[in-house]
């Protein structure tokens, strides 16, 4: 009987630890998911690179059309517009694009942009050396700022992707209470 | 068994309220679970009646859209966590020790606790309906950012989920500890009744999936109040991540509801076919493979979020693959009936209806698994029809079958067979009138979770509502039958059913307060599956 | 593959002729108006018939057994309890059927996934509770609200009956106009919570998620009006944000774009004109119904604990709060979205005037477009 009681205790303890482990696994899914997204392009987030000068080799005459898109999330009284609507680029070369953002309200507001590329598969091949995303931006009432993004489309972009959309969405920064 | 079981060494049941509040007896706790589940079934059912009344005609009739959304949300939470899961745990509590020849559950005090925190959890959930801003109204799936718009009710929703999770996990640990350590000598794993097997596998699913849900809702909580950004795009998080974590729990949860049903039906059909279960071993393996596969199909609930095509294909193939072990089960049940000598008492009727209607739910499930077509089906009434076939005419029908099957063992009296048959036919017809037209509604383009609809959906909604009311009313008959049976009737023999096999039928009916205090000696016949 | 599909489907149609008599009961999925929607429909029909035939066989055998193998017929139960051969067979056959379904499904999915070489890009943005459409190439933006008649009929009142209105809850004030015979890229995203953009006749739905853009495409064969709804629960107004696509020829589309732009320019120009109180009230009521009613309700009472009441509220009645009233509309507050981008000065002036004089607020305040312009930065 005492042995049985010991066995029950052992089973219970093991299962208790499995429970804790699975609770941790729920949290572990966060970084796992990020890694998974980076490998597969799952959530359309773009890639960061450091531009190396003098290495621009354009292998083909292939042209890819980039469409610039802008969104401002619900609670942010800002206006965001790409300076140009679309350009044609050659894979392997760096290009500049600007977005113009204006605070339409009568208060200073902090916002933050996040990028999204579609089709998702293209986000793996869309590489930026400069970007205004994931950084808090403070705009005074009525202030307008031009924001730069410098990017290249990787030469390995699958052939069937002829056009892609680069989209930015500005959100009110977390913790901005104005 | 030194300290735990000997506390109640006096051979009489304690009486009064204390018996129930402090009970560590598996039969009493089982009874508590079952009664609680039945009460929740009616509360959740009342909400379903409100939903069907509102949808009876186009135009807003009774409730406002916000409250309608709360009803949809709370109905689901109550039915899943309050009715079907506790009913399953109640059956496990009552029957597993009897089936494996154990004197009680392995952890009787934890057993008491895991039941008694449930009423508090649901009191909390139901109280949210009266709070400033109303109850949770974003669907039981709690997707952010919508769920974060909830007012005062939000933290209560999260704590409710935590409480229910803790309760279920304790229940699951207890079941595994019992089955692994307390089987009568000679009862090897592959000699266990299939109901025990399905519950062990369910318990593992619970332990593996519920903590993940607890983690997900905790992240919601910190996102709302403590400035984290797990799911907030504004802070670099991803709202779709929640859906992945949620459904990593959510799909195994579907099988947490369904596997005990498989066990019940696999117990009842052989009894009334008077023939052993066909393919016992393949049943065990099929159950286990369904359980394992259920962790690799979650994203089929969210094909429309926009996944890379490789992901969509993977989840489509994995989903379709589940049809194979599920098919094996259905064929095994058919083969069990084949060349048997069948009689059709209420448990058998509910079990046969289960096999047919669950299979219909499985068919629509297979169709939903085909990704390119799911883009049309997703979030329509086709899905509503699908999961109600699986959960109501599936899981709930099996629970009704189980109740009728074991009522003689619980009460010592036979239930009123004639009334039970009426209850069956009313339920079977009404539930099909209720849910079959919803397939058409979904295909014709009616989204789910809407309080009002275009007039082209009017006819089928009215039919569906009539079926809903009929189903709701017929369940009152079930309560009457159960009460009548508890109060008296024809005495039940120890072996209440002619063809029944298993240790639970070797003890008298009603089962005495303490059973198998010394392990039973198992004969070869008893171990026959 | 397709030709086999077609033949199978034709055969099926002959069998199901009696059912099609119930056409107005809308029993089945819509075939739709794009090549993809047709293929999706075919795939649906194939899988439906596969499961129907399996069902007939399986349940047929079961009922035969239920009828013949009953105790009342005096049968003695058999003893067998397994058979490896049979078990292998009924594992293998479903597997083969599933592979048979997975192959065409995979092909179709790959075809649907190909968003390349589109001629036109439209972005659908989900709002609580309306859709915004941006024609990215043509630089045109529309807000598409539930139409006024549906709004009126959807109020809970005795004297309204939605049964009289065939487009109830499926009509909008500004439909999405799209050209036919053109591959159109449709991007989806959202402004607040997750929505889903779904027009059954186009053959798919896609979630609209804040911060992310999803892409999909449609190639509409026939001119016509195609209706759909938001398909992801998004709060109180989830059932009240329909989608209407009006497909016209490319030439008509071009004309429409030009006219729409002109109309918007004229409206903006006219919006700075001073109006009489009556004009402001009439216009204000219309603007209120389209933009404010979903939350603040027709009677201005709001929803307790969620959406504040306007009737009798401090902000909408006290003179010193007039400025706050206007800035709340322009820039939003908490759950209230900013309307400064969606509405012009005239609309905001009108709705402010309306809110300050309706439901017994009777402040007598008249707000003119100039007052709004002064608040804008």
Q: Find all residues with CB under 8 Å of B155, minimum gap 6, and list them.
A: B221, B225
pLDDT tens-place string over residues C52-74:
999 999 999 999 999 999 998 88
Residue B33 appears among annotated catalytic residues: no
Q: What average pLDDT score do residues B140-150 get?
A: 92
Select the residue of C116, C121, C334 nearest A162 (Cβ to Cβ): C116
Are B112 and B119 in contact by the 8 Å Cβ rule? The answer is: no
Q: Find all residues with CB under 8 Å of C153, minimum gap 6, and list them.
A: B59, C160, C161, C162, C165, C168
pLDDT tens-place string over residues B417-434:
999 999 999 999 999 999
Residue B61, pLDDT above cutoff 90: no
- Closest Cα in chain B to A120: B308
Report pLDDT for C62. Answer: 95
Task: Spell out the long-range contacts of B424-427 with Cβ–Cβ below 8 A and sequence spacing 24 or more.
Answer: B424/B346, B424/B349, B424/B350, B424/B353, B424/B400, B426/B470, B426/B471, B426/B474, B426/B477, B427/B397, B427/B400, B427/B471, B427/B474, B427/B475
Q: B500: helix, coil or strand? A: coil
Report pLDDT for C106. Answer: 96
- The model carries a pTM of 0.91
pLDDT band at A53 (very low <50, low <70, confident <90, very high): low
Interface test with C, best of B236, B445, B458, B464 (most C CBs within 10 A): B445
B306 neighbourhood in chain A, CB within 8 Å? 44, 120
Residue C10, pLDDT above cutoff 60: no
- Closest Cα in chain A to C190: A73
CB atoms C209 and B240 under 8 Å: yes
Rounded Cα distance between A109 and A121, Å, is: 34
Counting as contact any 3 or more CB pairs under 8 A, the partners of A are B, C
What are the beta bridge partners of residue C215?
C187
Closest Cα to residue B77, out of B130, B23, B138? B138
Active-site option among B31, B168, B359, B371 = B168
Residue B405, pLDDT above cutoff 80: yes
pLDDT band at C142 (very low <50, low <70, confident <90, very high): very high
Report pLDDT for A57. Answer: 62
Q: Find all residues with CB under 8 Å of C374, minimum gap 6, and list them.
A: none
Q: Find all residues with CB under 8 Å of C100, minimum gap 6, and list them.
A: C50
The per-residue pLDDT of chain C, averaged, comes to 87
Residue B448 appears among annotated catalytic residues: yes
Provide DSSP, B390-415: HIIIIIIHHHHHHHHHHHHHHHSB--
Whether chain C has a CB inside 8 Å of the CB on B134: the answer is yes
Whether chain A has a CB inside 8 Å of the CB on B306: the answer is yes
Residue B528 appears among annotated catalytic residues: no
Are B47 and B75 in contact by the 8 Å Cβ rule? The answer is: yes
Rounded Cα distance between B393 and B467, Å, is: 13
CB atoms B1 and A5 under 8 Å: yes
Q: What average pLDDT score do residues B460-470 get?
A: 95
CATH code of the region C272-375: 1.10.760.10
Rounded Cα distance between A78 and A111, Å, is: 9
Tokens of B454: 């275009």
Residue B7 appears among annotated catalytic residues: no
Residues 423-442 of B with CB under 8 A from A: none
- Closest Cα in chain A to B211: A23
Q: Tell whether B10 is covered by a domain.
A: no
Active-site option among B114, B202, B326, B411 = B326
Report pLDDT for A136. Answer: 85
Residues 162-181 of C with CB under 8 A from B: 162-163, 165-170
Report pLDDT for B54. Answer: 94
Q: Tell whether B388 is covered by a domain.
A: yes
The pairing of beta strand C130-135 with beta strand C140-144: antiparallel
Are C204 and C99 in contact by the 8 Å Cβ rule? The answer is: no
The secondary structure of residue C181, as a DSSP letter, is: S
Closest Cα to residue B447, out of B385, B388, B381? B381
The pairing of beta strand C183-190 with beta strand C214-219: antiparallel
Select the residue of A43, A77, A85 nearest C338 (Cβ to Cβ): A77
Residue B347, pLDDT above cutoff 80: yes
pLDDT band at C370 (very low <50, low <70, confident <90, very high): confident
Distance (Å) from the alpha carbon of A165 to chain C's nearest alpha carbon: 9
Q: Return the number of other C-beta atoms located less than 10 Å from residue C6's C-beta.
A: 11
pLDDT band at A41 (very low <50, low <70, confident <90, very high): low
Report pLDDT for A47. Answer: 67
Select the residue of B207, B219, B308 nearest A22 (Cβ to Cβ): B207
CB atoms C187 and A160 under 8 Å: no
The pairing of beta strand A47-48 with beta strand A144-153: unpaired
B494/C272: higher pLDDT: B494
Whether chain A has a CB inside 8 Å of the CB on B177: the answer is yes
Q: What average pLDDT score do residues C2-12 get?
A: 51
CA distances from C349 to A105, C217, C265, C278, C344 (A): 17, 39, 18, 12, 9
Distance (Å) from the alpha carbon of A137 to chain B's nearest alpha carbon: 12
Residues 86-145 of C with CB under 8 A from A: 113-118, 121, 123, 125, 127-128, 134, 136-137, 139
Report pLDDT for C322. Answer: 86
Rounded Cα distance between A115 and A123, Å, is: 10
Whether chain C has a CB inside 8 Å of the CB on B363: the answer is yes
Report pLDDT for C19. Answer: 45
Select the residue of B4, B209, B230 nearest A30 (Cβ to Cβ): B230
Q: What is the 3-state secondary structure (H, E, C) of B128-155?
A: HHHCCCCCCCCCCCCCCCHHHHCCCHHH
Residue B1, pLDDT above cutoff 70: no
Where do the structural domains in chain C lie, given as residue ranges?
2-113, 120-268, 272-375
Select the residue of C231, C303, C335 nearest B447 (Cβ to Cβ): C231
Output Rg (C-alpha) for chain B, integer angstroms. 23
pLDDT band at B528 (very low <50, low <70, confident <90, very high): low
pLDDT tens-place string over residues B313-340:
999 999 999 999 999 999 999 999 999 9
Class of C120-268 in CATH: mainly beta
pLDDT band at A52 (very low <50, low <70, confident <90, very high): low
pLDDT tens-place string over residues C315-328:
888 888 888 888 88
Are A138 and A132 in contact by the 8 Å Cβ rule? The answer is: no
pLDDT band at B5 (very low <50, low <70, confident <90, very high): very low
Percent of chain B past pLDDT 70, that is, above it, reads 97
Residue B14, pLDDT above cutoff 80: no
Q: Tell whether B333 is covered by a domain.
A: yes
Counting as contact any 3 or more CB pairs under 8 A, the partners of B are A, C
Residue C343, pLDDT above cutoff 90: no
Counting as contact any 3 or more CB pairs under 8 A, the partners of C are A, B
What are the beta bridge partners of residue C196?
C207
Residue B75 appears among annotated catalytic residues: yes
Whether chain A has a CB inside 8 Å of the CB on B517: the answer is no
Q: Tell whether B4 is covered by a domain.
A: no
CB atoms B207 and A42 under 8 Å: no
Report pLDDT for C22. Answer: 44
C170 neighbourhood in chain B, CB within 8 Å? 454
Q: What average pLDDT score do residues B109-120 get?
A: 94
The per-residue pLDDT of chain B, averaged, comes to 92
Lowest mean pLDDT among A27-36, B111-120, B194-203: A27-36
- Closest Cα in chain C to A72: C191
Report pLDDT for C16. Answer: 47
Residue C154, pLDDT above cutoff 70: yes
Dihedral angle sign, alpha carbons of residues A123, A126, A130, A131: negative
Are B439 and B29 in contact by the 8 Å Cβ rule? The answer is: no
Rounded Cα distance between C36 and C112, Å, is: 7
Residue B168 appears among annotated catalytic residues: yes
Are B413 and B492 in contact by the 8 Å Cβ rule? The answer is: yes
Q: Tell whether B128 is covered by a domain.
A: yes
Q: Tell whether B167 is covered by a domain.
A: yes
pLDDT band at C114 (very low <50, low <70, confident <90, very high): confident
CB atoms C193 and B145 under 8 Å: yes
C2-113 folds as Helix Hairpins (1.10.287)
Domain that holds residue B279: 19-527
Residue C18, pLDDT above cutoff 60: no
Select the residue of A77, A117, A142 nearest C340 (Cβ to Cβ): A77
Q: What average pLDDT score do residues C136-152 get?
A: 89
Q: What average pLDDT score do residues B93-105 get?
A: 94
Residue B7, pLDDT above cutoff 80: no
C311/B422: higher pLDDT: B422
Active-site option among B75, B224, B275, B409 = B75
C332 neighbourhood in chain A, CB within 8 Å? 74-75, 77
Whether chain A has a CB inside 8 Å of the CB on B419: the answer is no
Residue B26 appears among annotated catalytic residues: no
Report pLDDT for B8. Answer: 44
C341 neighbourhood in chain A, CB within 8 Å? 72, 79, 104
Report pLDDT for C148. Answer: 87
Tokens of B250: 């959510």
Are C38 and C31 in contact by the 8 Å Cβ rule? The answer is: yes
Whether chain A has a CB inside 8 Å of the CB on C340: the answer is yes
C199 neighbourhood in chain B, CB within 8 Å? none
Report pLDDT for C50. Answer: 95
Q: B287: helix, coil or strand? A: helix
Active-site option among B104, B345, B374, B504 = B104
Residue C3, pLDDT above cutoff 70: no
Residue B356, pLDDT above cutoff 80: yes
- Closest Cα in chain C to B313: C106
Residue B470, pLDDT above cutoff 90: yes
Report pLDDT for B529. Answer: 57
Dihedral angle sign, alpha carbons of residues C151, C153, C158, C159: positive
Report pLDDT for B527. Answer: 66
CATH number at residue B203: 1.20.210.10
Q: Tell whether B6 is covered by a domain.
A: no
pLDDT band at B525 (very low <50, low <70, confident <90, very high): low
Report pLDDT for C20. Answer: 42
pLDDT band at A1 (very low <50, low <70, confident <90, very high): low
Most confident of the following: A87-91, B464-468, C290-294: B464-468
The tally of domains found in chain B comes to 1
Interface test with C, best of B454, B460, B463, B497 (most C CBs within 10 A): B454
B236/B279: higher pLDDT: B279
Q: Tell whether B500 is covered by a domain.
A: yes
Residue C25, pLDDT above cutoff 80: no
Distance (Å) from the alpha carbon of C331 to chain A's nearest alpha carbon: 5
CB atoms B133 and C203 under 8 Å: no
Provide DSSP, A90-144: -TT-EEEEEEEEEE-SSS-EEEEEEEEEESGGGGGTEEEEE--BTSEEEE-TT-E
pLDDT tens-place string over residues B295-315:
999 999 999 998 888 889 999
């Amino acid at each position: 009987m005492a042995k049985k009681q010991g066995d029950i205790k052992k089973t219970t303890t093991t299962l208790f630890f499995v429970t804790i482990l699975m609770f941790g696994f729920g949290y572990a899914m966060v970084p796992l998911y990020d890694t998974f997204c980076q490998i597969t392009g799952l959530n359309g987030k773009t890639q960061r690179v450091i531009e190396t000068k003098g290495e621009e080799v354009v292998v083909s005459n292939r042209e890819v059309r980039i469409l610039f898109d802008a969104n401002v999330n619900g609670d942010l009284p800002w206006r965001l517009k790409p300076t140009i609507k679309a350009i044609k680029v050659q894979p392997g070369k760096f290009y500049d694009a600007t977005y113009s953002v204006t605070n339409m309200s009568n208060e200073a507001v902090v916002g933050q942009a996040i990028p999204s590329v579609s089709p998702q598969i293209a986000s793996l091949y869309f590489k930026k050396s400069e970007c205004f995303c994931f950084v808090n931006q403070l705009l005074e009432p009525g202030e307008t700022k031009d924001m730069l993004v410098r990017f290249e489309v990787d030469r390995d972009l699958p052939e069937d992707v002829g056009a892609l959309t680069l989209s930015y969405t500005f959100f009110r920064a977390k913790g901005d209470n104005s | 068994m030194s300290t735990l079981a000997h506390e109640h060494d006096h051979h009489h049941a304690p009486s009064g309220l204390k018996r129930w509040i402090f009970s560590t007896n598996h039969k009493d706790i089982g009874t508590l679970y079952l009664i609680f589940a039945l009460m929740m079934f009616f509360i959740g059912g009342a909400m379903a009646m409100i939903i069907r009344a509102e949808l009876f005609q186009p135009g807003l009739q009774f409730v406002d859209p916000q409250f309608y959304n709360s009803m949809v949300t709370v109905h689901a939470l109550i039915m899943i966590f309050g009715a079907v899961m506790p009913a399953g745990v109640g059956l496990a509590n009552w029957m597993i020790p009897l089936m494996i020849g154990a004197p009680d559950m392995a952890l009787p005090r934890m057993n008491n606790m895991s039941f008694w925190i449930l009423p508090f959890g649901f009191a909390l959930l139901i109280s949210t309906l009266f709070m400033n801003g109303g109850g949770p109204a974003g669907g039981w799936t709690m997707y952010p950012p919508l769920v974060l718009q909830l007012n005062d009710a939000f933290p209560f929703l999260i704590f409710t989920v935590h409480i229910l999770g803790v309760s279920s996990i304790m229940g699951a640990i207890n079941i595994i500890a019992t089955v692994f350590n307390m089987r009568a000598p000679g009862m090897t794993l592959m000699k266990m009744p299939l109901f025990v097997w399905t519950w062990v596998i369910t318990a593992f699913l619970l332990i593996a999936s519920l903590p993940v849900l607890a983690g997900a809702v905790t992240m919601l909580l910190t996102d709302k109040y403590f400035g984290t950004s797990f799911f907030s795009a504004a802070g670099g998080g991803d709202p779709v991540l929640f859906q992945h974590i949620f459904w990593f729990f959510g799909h195994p949860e579907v099988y947490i509801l369904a596997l005990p049903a498989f066990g019940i039906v696999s117990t009842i059909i052989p009894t009334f076919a008077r023939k052993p279960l066909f393919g016992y071993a393949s049943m065990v393996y099929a159950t286990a493979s369904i359980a394992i596969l259920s962790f690799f199909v979650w994203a089929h609930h969210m094909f429309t979020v926009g996944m890379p095509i490789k992901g969509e294909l993977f989840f489509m193939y994995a989903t379709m693959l589940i049809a194979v072990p599920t098919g094996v089960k259905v064929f095994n049940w058919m083969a069990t009936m084949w060349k048997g000598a069948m009689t059709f008492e209420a448990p058998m009727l509910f079990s046969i209806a289960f096999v047919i209607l669950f299979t219909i739910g499985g068919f629509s499930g297979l169709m939903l698994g085909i990704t390119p077509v799911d883009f049309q089906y997703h979030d329509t009434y086709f899905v509503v029809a699908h999961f109600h076939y699986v959960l109501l005419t599936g899981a709930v029908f099996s629970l009704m079958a189980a109740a009728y099957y074991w009522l003689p063992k619980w009460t010592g009296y036979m239930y009123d067979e004639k009334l039970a048959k009426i209850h069956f036919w009313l339920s079977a017809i009404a539930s099909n009138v209720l849910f079959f037209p919803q397939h058409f509604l979904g295909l014709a383009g009616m989204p789910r979770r809407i309080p009002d609809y275009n007039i082209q959906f009017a006819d089928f909604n009215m039919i569906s509502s009539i079926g809903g009311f009929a189903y709701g009313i017929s369940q009152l008959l079930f309560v009457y039958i159960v009460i009548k049976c508890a109060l008296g009737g024809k005495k039940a023999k120890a072996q209440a059913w002619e063809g029944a096999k298993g240790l639970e039928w070797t003890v008298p009916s009603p089962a005495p307060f303490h059973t198998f205090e010394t392990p039973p000696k198992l004969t070869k016949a008893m171990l026959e599956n | 593959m397709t030709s086999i599909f077609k033949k199978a489907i034709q055969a099926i149609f002959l069998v199901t002729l009696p059912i099609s008599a119930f056409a107005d009961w809308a029993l089945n999925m819509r075939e739709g108006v794009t090549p993809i929607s047709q293929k999706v429909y075919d795939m649906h029909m194939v899988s439906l018939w596969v499961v129907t035939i399996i069902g007939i066989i399986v349940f047929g055998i079961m009922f035969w057994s239920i009828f013949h193998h009953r105790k009342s017929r005096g049968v003695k139960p058999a003893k067998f309890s397994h058979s490896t051969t049979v078990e292998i067979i009924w594992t293998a056959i479903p597997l083969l059927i599933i592979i048979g379904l997975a192959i065409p499904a995979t092909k179709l999915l790959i075809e649907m996934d190909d968003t390349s070489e589109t001629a036109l890009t439209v972005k659908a943005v989900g709002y609580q509770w309306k859709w915004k459409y941006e024609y990215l190439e043509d630089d045109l933006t529309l807000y598409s609200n539930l139409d006024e008649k549906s709004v009126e009929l959807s109020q809970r009142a005795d004297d309204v009956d939605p049964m009289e209105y065939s487009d109830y809850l499926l009509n909008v004030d500004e439909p999405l106009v799209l050209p036919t015979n053109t591959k159109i890229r449709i991007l989806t995203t959202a402004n607040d919570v997750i929505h889903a953009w779904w027009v059954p006749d186009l053959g798919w739905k896609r979630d609209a998620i804040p911060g992310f853009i999803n892409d999909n495409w449609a190639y509409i064969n026939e001119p016509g009006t195609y209706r759909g709804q938001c398909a992801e629960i998004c709060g109180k107004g989830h059932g009240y944000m329909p989608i209407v696509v009006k497909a016209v020829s490319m030439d008509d589309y071009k004309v429409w774009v030009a006219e729409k732009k002109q109309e918007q320019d004229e409206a903006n120009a006219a919006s700075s004109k001073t109006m009489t109180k009556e004009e402001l009230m009439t216009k204000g009521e219309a603007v209120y119904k389209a933009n404010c009613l979903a939350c603040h309700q027709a009677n201005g009472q709001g929803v307790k604990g969620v959406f504040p009441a306007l009737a009798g509220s401090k902000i909408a009645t006290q003179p010193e709060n007039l400025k706050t009233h206007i800035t709340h509309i322009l820039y939003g507050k908490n759950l209230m979205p900013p309307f400064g981008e969606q509405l012009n000065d005239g609309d905001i002036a009108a709705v402010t005037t309306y809110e300050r004089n309706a439901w017994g607020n009777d402040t007598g305040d008249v707000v003119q477009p100039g007052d709004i312009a002064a608040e804008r930065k």
